[in-house]
A = this chain, B = another copy of it.
Amino acid sequence: MDRATLVAALTNVATRLRLESVKSTSEAGSGHPTSCCSAADLVAAAFFSEMRFDPMDPGHPGADRFVLSKGHAAPLLYAAWAEAGAFDRLELLKLRELGSDLEGHPTPRLPFVDVATGSLGQGLCAAVGCALNARRIGSDYRTYCLVGDGESAEGSIWEAAEVAAVERLDNLCGLTDVNGLGQSRATMWGVDLEAFASRWRAFGWHALTIDGHDLSAILEALAEARTIKGRPTMIVASTVKGKGVPFAEGKDNWHGKPFKKGEELERALAALEAQFVSGGHGVNLAAHIPKPVARPADPPAPRAVAPPTYTIGELVATREAYGTALAKLGSADERVVALDADVKNSTFSERFEQAHPARFYQNFIAEQVMLGSAMGMAARGAIAFPSTFACFLTRAADFIRMAAISGVNVKMAGSHAGVSIGEDGPSQMALEDLAMCRAQPNITVLYPCDAVSAERLVALAAYHPGPVYIRTSRPKTEVIYANHETFAIGGLKVLRQSAQDLVTVVAAGVTVFEALEAHRELLEAGTPIRVIDLYSVQPLDRAGLVAAGHATGGRIITVEDHYAAGGIGDAVAEAVGDAGIRVHRLAVREIPRSGKPSELLERFGISTRSIVAAVKRQLSLR
**A583 proximity list for chain B (CB < 8 A):** 577
Shortest A583–chain B CB gap in Å is 6
Q: Mark A590-614, 1 if CB is under 8 A from B, else 0.
A: 1101111001100100000000000
Copies in the complex: 2
**A188 proximity list for chain B (CB < 8 A):** 162, 166, 364
Q: Is A439 interfacial (CB-CB < 8 Å)?
A: yes
A593 touches B103 (CB 8 A): yes
**Residue from the list B29, B154, B365, B442 in contact with A590, Cβ < 8 A:** B442
Shortest A562–chain B CB gap in Å is 8
A183 touches B345 (CB 8 A): yes
Sorting the interface of chain A by its residue count into under 10, 10 to 19, 20 to 34 or 35 or more gives 35 or more
A interface residues, Cβ below 8 angstroms from B:
28-31, 71, 96-98, 100, 103-105, 107, 109, 116-121, 150-151, 153-159, 162, 166, 182-185, 187-188, 198-199, 201-203, 340, 342-346, 350, 362-369, 391-392, 394-395, 397-398, 401-402, 404-405, 407, 422-428, 431-432, 435-436, 438-442, 538, 563-567, 569-571, 573-574, 577-578, 580, 582-585, 588-591, 593-596, 599-600, 603
**Residue from the list B346, B368, B435 in contact with A435, Cβ < 8 A:** B435
Closest B residue to A25 by CB, please name it: B423
Instruction: Enumerate 14 A-B pairs (CB-CB under 8 Å) in ascending A order.
Output: A30-B422, A96-B423, A98-B600, A103-B594, A104-B428, A150-B364, A154-B365, A155-B155, A155-B157, A155-B158, A187-B364, A202-B202, A394-B401, A441-B591
B427 touches A365 (CB 8 A): no
B394 touches A426 (CB 8 A): no
**A603 proximity list for chain B (CB < 8 A):** 98
The 4 closest A-B pairs by CB, nearest first: A155-B155, A118-B427, A566-B566, A98-B595
B424 touches A566 (CB 8 A): no
B365 touches A153 (CB 8 A): yes
Q: A182-B364, A578-B582, A591-B441 are in contact. Are A427 and B116 (CB under 8 A)?
A: yes
Q: A391-B401, A405-B591, A431-B439 are in contact. Are A159 and B154 (CB under 8 A)?
A: yes
**A442 proximity list for chain B (CB < 8 A):** 590-591
Shortest A44–chain B CB gap in Å is 25
**A368 proximity list for chain B (CB < 8 A):** 155
**Residue from the list B116, B162, B345, B567 in contact with A184, Cβ < 8 A:** B345
**A588 proximity list for chain B (CB < 8 A):** 441
A426 touches B438 (CB 8 A): no
**Residue from the list B105, B185, B435, B600 in contact with A362, Cβ < 8 A:** B185
Shortest A520–chain B CB gap in Å is 26
Q: A431-B439, A589-B441 are in contact. Are A107 and B425 (CB under 8 A)?
A: yes
| C-alpha gap A431/B440 in the complex (Å) | 8
Q: A118-B425, A158-B155, A595-B98 are in contact. Are A150 and B199 (CB under 8 A)?
A: no
| C-alpha gap A183/B442 in the complex (Å) | 33
Q: A343-B184, A405-B591, A439-B436 are in contact. Are A573 and B571 (CB under 8 A)?
A: no
| C-alpha gap A380/B5 in the complex (Å) | 63
Q: A98-B593, A569-B574, A594-B97 are in contact. Are A440 and B436 (CB under 8 A)?
A: no
| C-alpha gap A166/B187 in the complex (Å) | 11
Of listed A346, A363, A395, A565, residue having the most chain B CB within 10 A: A565
**Residue from the list B105, B153, B342, B563 in contact with A425, Cβ < 8 A:** B105
Closest B residue to A72 by CB, please name it: B424
Of listed A154, A405, A440, A585, residue having the most chain B CB within 10 A: A154
**A104 proximity list for chain B (CB < 8 A):** 423-425, 427-428, 594
A159 touches B150 (CB 8 A): no
A439 touches B428 (CB 8 A): no
Shortest A252–chain B CB gap in Å is 10
B98 touches A599 (CB 8 A): yes
Shortest A395–chain B CB gap in Å is 4
Shortest A112–chain B CB gap in Å is 16
**A589 proximity list for chain B (CB < 8 A):** 441
Q: A184-B350, A425-B105, A582-B580 are in contact. Are A439 and B565 (CB under 8 A)?
A: yes
